[in-house]
């Protein structure tokens, strides 16, 4: 599983001219399930996303989580995070989970974030989405389940 977290002042996703999700302060979470990803890994990602201290406290130090600041998450599926770009000039996406499994894990991540107490807005899985964001910092964190602790 791969995720890109972006700390935002605001973010929204639009599909066919209709806003499907929008947040103010919080995290834009771009997520990609890959072959072999498990429910356990997905729930672990939700816990880490919710508790990651990347918001600044009164001293200007990144010491607060999205939940600490009353923020929300906008979760957007993005299979292109599984891109294999090393061979040739056209990236391959065969590492991405099948659409059915990818959508199942995407929905599980959103549900798990909500169970952690986080307000969650979403894009539409598999749709062509226009994502708007106002980066705060910018602060961007890349998560990969293949990384060791």
Query: Long-range contacts for 107-115 (Cβ within 8 Å, ≥24 apart)?
Result: 108/39, 108/42, 108/43, 109/29, 109/31, 109/42, 109/45, 109/46, 109/75, 110/75, 112/42, 112/43, 112/45, 112/46, 112/47, 113/46, 113/49, 113/50, 113/73, 113/75, 115/46
State the catalytic residues. Answer: 78-80
């Amino acid at each position: 599983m791969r995720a890109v977290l972006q700390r935002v002042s605001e973010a929204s996703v639009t599909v066919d001219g209709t806003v499907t999700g929008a947040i103010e302060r919080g995290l834009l979470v771009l997520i990609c399930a890959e072959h072999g990803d498990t429910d356990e890994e997905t729930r672990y990602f939700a816990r880490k996303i919710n508790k990651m201290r990347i918001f600044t406290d009164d001293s200007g130090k990144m010491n607060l989580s999205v939940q600490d600041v009353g923020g929300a998450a906008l979760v957007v599926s993005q299979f292109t995070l599984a891109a294999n770009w090393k061979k040739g000039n056209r990236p391959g996406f065969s590492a991405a989970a099948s659409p059915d499994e990818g959508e199942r894990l995407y929905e599980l991540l959103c549900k798990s974030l909500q169970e952690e107490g986080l307000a969650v807005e979403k894009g539409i899985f598999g749709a062509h989405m226009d994502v708007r964001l106002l980066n705060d910092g910018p602060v961007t964190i890349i998560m990969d389940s293949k990384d060791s602790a």
